[in-house]
Structure 1
Amino acid sequence: MRNRLKQMGVMVCLAVMVGSLVPMQASAEEMELTPKATSALLMEQSSGQILYEKSSEEKLPPASMTKIMTMLLIMEAIDKGQVALDEDVTASEYAASMGGSQIFLEAGETMTVEELLKGVAIASGNDASVALAEHLAGSEEAFVAKMNERVKELGLENTHFKNTTGLPAEGHYSTARDMAEMAKALLEYEQITDFTSLYEDHLRQDTEDPFWLVNTNRLVKFYEGADGLKTGYTSEAKYCLTATAKRNDMRVIAVVMGAPTSKERNAQVVKMFDYAFNRFETHEMYAENEKVGTVRIEKGARQTVDAVTDDRVIVMLPKGADAAELKRFVTLKSTVDAPLTKGQDIGEVTIKQGDRVLAKAPLIIQEDVPKASWWTLFKRSIERIARP
């Protein structure tokens, strides 16, 4: 799902609808949304549109926001069936030795993937992060290599990880923009907010020593619609937060790095959230799996295939703006060669406001199309010859 557009062959480009919209309202920069942050960014999740940024590509220590990538790899492994939520994980001595925020694992203690994921998402447990990393990849070092591979796959050029936890390490850095992109990818797995939205829970609940989890992200309790994602703090990184909130089918991601206090960090995120929800709204331009065009197939069991949207195509506009005035561009391959695989990219749609790109999304096929048999190809050639 959500494949990226592969290199296109000969294209057919169709432009539908023309027009332009009113410019964006008073800028977030003018409102000084994050005066006490080193770096910040505000993004609408579905479209990836940036509403506000401040030094968003400055490389900084992300502290425990690192665990966004840790959780992303865990959710991807669950989605692929490589690990299950009810699967047991036994903590190693190394995992149990982690300092900083923790759920106080004992060496040899067993918890499920789900329990450890709660420990990461709610309490930012360093020991839980390492235990999961070792379970999935054999060692934290091997898991970190996977984290950095995934960073490259996401096209993030200003992030490099040295551990799964965000504990201070030379050469461990990210940016507000990259953290927002990682959060965007993590939120593709909607189940993650079942964990990150919990304000409190328990581990070891049926034992003599239950452990109370309290979310390090207090906004999930005190801000309407907030349901994640991850805080961070070290003396070097100061107070950091990658947060998300959803209202009326619009989800936004706010990142603050280098705030002087947790109070200032939370206040600046709230300002960004308020700015987004008070001034903007989302519009669905295409539904998921909506047919957008047709492409001819060379030597396939079928001669044409529908090009459909891989997911909903969403844009965010100032409240009161008319989405009907946006420009839609559909770009399709002129022909494709069989065999074709379900989910294969065969084009893209682009939504523009004037010359400004608001959204791009791949167009895919929904079924496998094998090569045609020699007999089918022979019959087609005879039919072509027989046509007047």
Structure 2
Amino acid sequence: MRKLTGNANRFFARLICVFLCAAVALTFPFVAECEEGRAETPRAMLLMEARTGQVLYSVNAAEKLPMASITKVMSLLVLSDFIDDGRLTLEEKVKASAYASSAEGSVIWLSPGEEMTAAELLEAVIVSSANDACIALAEHVAGSEEQFVRLMNRRAKKMGLSGTKFTGCVGFDAKGHYTTAEDIAVMTAELMEKEYYRGWLLTWLDYLRGGDTQLLNTNKLVRYYDGILGGKTGTTDGAGCCLTACAERGGMRLVAVVLGCGEDPERFDRAEELLDMGFSGYEKFTPEVDSRKLLPITVERGEYSTVQPVVQDYGECVIKRGRAGSVDYSYTFVEGVKAPVEKGQFLGEYLVTLDGVEVFRSDIVAKEEVRRMNFGMYLLCVLGEMVSF
């Protein structure tokens, strides 16, 4: 074999280096570029399946950060509570106060005393992120923005959003106004369940005041992304360029959250990459339950000697595409229980994992109740044994 020259050795070394760099770039598509690159990595990102709550990808997802106009996702959820219980109708008139009309930033230029329907103002909030419209609605349903913000924080607490706190309903930078990518994903997933918002979430261009006021959707993904359901943008000096977006394909609904981008196009590029990664790399999966594993559990001092365990929750989860054959199942049970046993009482746990990572979990519970044996029951048992003997 002919010995390689020094130039040839250097050539192959450089070739290997190129392949290694390419491999790293493909493996970590969201790693920040060097100082001479074009964009910085967002401050936080997350990809979540909306219906199962499974997180498929995350970076700094629990870090508390400013959210800009993504704040309005919670504002819309609070307004949906008023719509759902009939306290706010889409047809009713809403009068703009002087305070609402003085809002800055993205606005539809409401005049003090001007009236619009709730539907028109909601569309302005959803499509073009109108701050004056949002404040007008908040004052209309709660009396003041301050009272409305209390409702926002109360709802956040009810939803378990421990990393979120609001000081306003539109999203201006302020001390004590923050959220996390995790919490935004949960808020967005619930917002997508509100069917009466869906048309506006997907509206790219519309007009108010007989065509005099243009509404242009700030979420550019509604124009072209396959399966898009909607989302919300946000931009301030403190928050940077932010986006939460939701899309659905083949029964899998994904939420992508991107916070703290340096430039406007980057948030859309990153969100699209996250969604593409989710749809191409994951699939819905329904775990199986082996009834042979669910053996009766002994009941001490009960009217029956055993109780039948059942898996409480049957549902779908998300796994890496093509890996269904590698899923593992485990069943754990209590050693025994004392009567009385309530229907639905905890008896164990059903766990589904893939490569050691949990993808689905459910309690194992009692199928029926088992009452504690009293004297009469004991006597009947004794008599029954005597007769059978």
TM-score, length-scaled by structure 1: 0.73
Letter in 2 for 1:114: A
1:192 is matched with: 197
Gaps of at least 5 residues in structure 1 are 1-25, 287-291, 293-303, 365-376
Query: Which one of the candidate residues 163, 166, 170 is aligned to 2:168?
Result: 163
Listed as ranges, the matches of 1:3-82 within 5 Å are 30-32=28-30, 35-82=40-87
**1:283 and 2:281 equivalent?**
no
| Equivalent-residue separation in structure 2 for 1:331 and 1:46 (angstroms) | 28
| Equivalent-residue separation in structure 2 for 1:244 and 1:200 (angstroms) | 19
Letter in 2 for 1:238: G
Letter in 2 for 1:30: F
1:14 is matched with: none
Could you tell me how far 1:335 is from its partner in structure 2? 11
CA pair 276-86 structure 1, distance change in 2 beyond 3 A: same
| Equivalent-residue separation in structure 2 for 1:53 and 1:246 (angstroms) | 19
State the Cα deviation string for residues 233-260 of structure 1 (Å, max 9, x = none). 0122111101111111111111111111
Could you tell me how far 1:167 is from its partner in structure 2? 1.3
Could you tell me how far 1:33 is from its partner in structure 2? 6.2
Could you tell me how far 1:96 is from its partner in structure 2? 1.5
Q: Percent identity?
A: 36
Q: Secondary structure at the match of 1:89?
A: strand
State the Cα deviation string for residues 95-114 of structure 1 (Å, max 9, x = none). 12111111222222222222
**1:139 and 2:144 equivalent?**
yes
TM-score, length-scaled by structure 2: 0.72
Query: Which one of the candidate residues 125, 131, 135 is aligned to 2:130?
Result: 125
Structure number with bigger Rg: 2
Gaps of at least 5 residues in structure 2 are 1-23, 33-39, 289-293, 295-307, 366-370, 385-389
Listed as ranges, the matches of 1:315-334 within 5 Å are 315-322=317-324, 325-327=327-329
Letter in 2 for 1:116: L
Could you tell me how far 1:126 is from its partner in structure 2? 0.6
Report which of the two has the higher share of strand.
1
1:108 is matched with: 113
| Greater shift in the superposed pair: 47-56 or 32-41 | 32-41
CA pair 259-133 structure 1, distance change in 2 beyond 3 A: same
Q: Secondary structure at the match of 1:313?
A: coil
| Equivalent-residue separation in structure 1 for 2:245 and 2:57 (angstroms) | 14
Letter in 2 for 1:358: V
1:176 is matched with: 181
The answer on whether the counterparts of 1:28 and 1:52 sit within 8 Å (CA) in structure 2 is: no
2:92 is matched with: 87
Could you tell me how far 1:267 is from its partner in structure 2? 0.9
CA pair 111-313 structure 1, distance change in 2 beyond 3 A: farther
1:240 is matched with: 242
Report which of the two has the higher share of helix.
2
| Equivalent-residue separation in structure 1 for 2:83 and 2:338 (angstroms) | 36
1:227 is matched with: 229
Could you tell me how far 1:46 is from its partner in structure 2? 1.4
State the Cα deviation string for residues 8-53 of structure 1 (Å, max 9, x = none). xxxxxxxxxxxxxxxxxx9997222675312111111111111211
Indicate the structure whose relative CO is greater, using CA pairs within 8 Å and at least 6 residues apart. Answer: 1
| Equivalent-residue separation in structure 1 for 2:28 and 2:48 (angstroms) | 17
Letter in 2 for 1:161: F
State the Cα deviation string for residues 145-186 of structure 1 (Å, max 9, x = none). 111112222222222111000012222111222211221232
| Greater shift in the superposed pair: 29-38 or 102-111 | 29-38
- RMSD of aligned alpha carbons: 4.2
Q: Secondary structure at the match of 2:28?
A: helix
State the Cα deviation string for residues 175-217 of structure 1 (Å, max 9, x = none). 222211221232233443332121122223xxx5532211100
Could you tell me how far 1:84 is from its partner in structure 2? 2.3
Could you tell me how far 1:62 is from its partner in structure 2? 0.5
CA pair 92-56 structure 1, distance change in 2 beyond 3 A: same
State the Cα deviation string for residues 50-74 of structure 1 (Å, max 9, x = none). 1211122222210001111111112
1:367 is matched with: none
1:359 is matched with: 360
| Equivalent-residue separation in structure 1 for 2:356 and 2:149 (angstroms) | 40
Could you tell me how far 1:324 is from its partner in structure 2? 8.4
| Equivalent-residue separation in structure 2 for 1:178 and 1:255 (angstroms) | 10
The answer on whether the counterparts of 2:285 and 2:324 sit within 8 Å (CA) in structure 1 is: no
Q: Secondary structure at the match of 1:46?
A: coil
CA pair 90-318 structure 1, distance change in 2 beyond 3 A: same
Number of equivalenced pairs: 339
